[in-house]
Amino acid sequence: MVTVEALVERVHAGDLRLHELETAADGDADLATAARQQVVIGRADSVENGDLDSIANYGFPADRAESNIENMIGAIQVPIGVAGPVEIDGEAIDEETVLPMATTEGALVASINRGCSSINAAGGATARVTKRGMTRAPVFSVAGVAEAEALVSWVRDHEAQLAATAESTTNHGELLDVTPYAVGNTVFLRFRYDTKDAMGMNMATIATGEAAELIEAETTASLVALSGNLCADKKPAAINATEGRGRSVTADVTIPRAVVEERLDTTPEAIAEINTKKNHIGSAKAGSMGFNAQVANVVGAMFLATGQDEAQVVEGANAITTAEVTSDGDLYCAVSLASLEVGTVGGGTGLPTQSEALELLGVAGGGDPAGANADALAEAIAVGSLAGELSLLAALGSRNLTSAHAALGRWRPDRRRTLAIVGVCRINQW
């Protein structure tokens, strides 16, 4: 019988590499993980007590993560809480729901909770996905501008053929369009796909690879790289802010003046002015890609909770917050996320805890119709972002930001949670 000790000895002897442990363990992923833990511990004298009690104490079979991680030694636990419930009037989600959020930032969930309470008092928030499309943009080399123009013309004339070729690699993906960009003797082709309930990056890559082979066979172009960074994946990019990537989604709410004053301890005028001077002018002066207060907080926390690709928080937080005083003296506020890349199937969504978080939202697995669950998740994240913007802008308007963080964990010298600070006592509404 294969044992941990025998596997560790083989690694130390140079007979096995870490990534070969699963095979040597006859496919027992948990045994391989235990052996890998011992190897790693042996190389890290600083590990207290010579073990990894917390990392090694994971709550699911290691083989459940085979498609998500290599060289697994365990799992890391991030606290998960819920904000809400919050009332959402969406096209894909139309109900009161809680928002699962995984984070280590004290006061964040409480802040979102406060925003949710204000949204509920206003009758709920409206959310809509306005555009869909996961992109992959290969880059081709041509002899010069004449061949560049010829390639662009060929692509425009053969988009149906490109679609048939790309879609032959997937049962669900649909090529929506191909947009060419020529720069001298370099041509980028930005393929955009409807990937339904999958986030779709792998789907788009595989499909575009097949289409690129057709282009090379039928034109003088030579593929330089399947990804030419005009996609643009996991990087701040103006093209995603204008053209969108994944899902473009907006959430808005009109909050009566009385609710703003009572629950947010400020006025519509103060929030509108702070939003303009902070989120718009301040962001422009800083050269920011996003014009918002803390959208990344909500996107990041809900991404971790629901098994999304955490690196794509870069694009997901590319959002614009707007706020204005209505003719009736109430507060209108909206958050528009241009490139929110989410899915409810594939990737990390099938891991046990992440799957349960999706179930809390009622969006686990494929939707009916296809794409509905991913749309619903996008709408929920947008409303959570809206709640976060309202709460933070209000905290700045009432000058309670520092006291809220002091009370809820950002600075607690005596390690005691005290809510006896003006404004903070209202944060936990649920």
List the catalytic residues. Answer: 105, 309, 405
Contact 69, 366 (CB under 8 A): no
- Alpha helices of 13-75 — where are they, by DSSP H? 21-24, 29-42, 53-56
Q: Where are the alpha helices (DSSP H) in 47-190?
A: 53-56, 108-121, 145-157, 159-167
Burial 411-427 (b: 16+ CB within 10 A, else e): eeeeeeeeeeeebbebb
**Other beta carbons less than 10 A from residue 51's beta carbon:** 12
With both helix axes pointing from N to C terminus, report the angle between 108-121 and 372-398 in degrees, rounded to the nearest 10: 100
* Residues present in the chain in total: 430
Query: Which two tokens mark 48?
Result: 């207290």
Please list, in sequence order, all residues whose beta carbon lies within 8 angstroms of the beta carbon of residue 277, skipping any fewer than 6 positions away: none
* H or E element, residue 209: helix 201-218
Between strands 80-90 and 125-136, the pairing is parallel
Query: In terms of Cα–Cα distance, which of 313, 311, 308 is closest to 198?
Result: 308
* DSSP of 338-378: EEE---SBSGGGGSHHHHHHHHHHT--S--SSTTHHHHHHH
- Which residues, in sequence order, are CB contacts of 427 under 8 Å at separation 6+? 107, 110, 111, 113, 114, 391, 404, 408, 419
132 forms bridges with which residues in the sheet?
247
Letter for the amino acid at 345? V
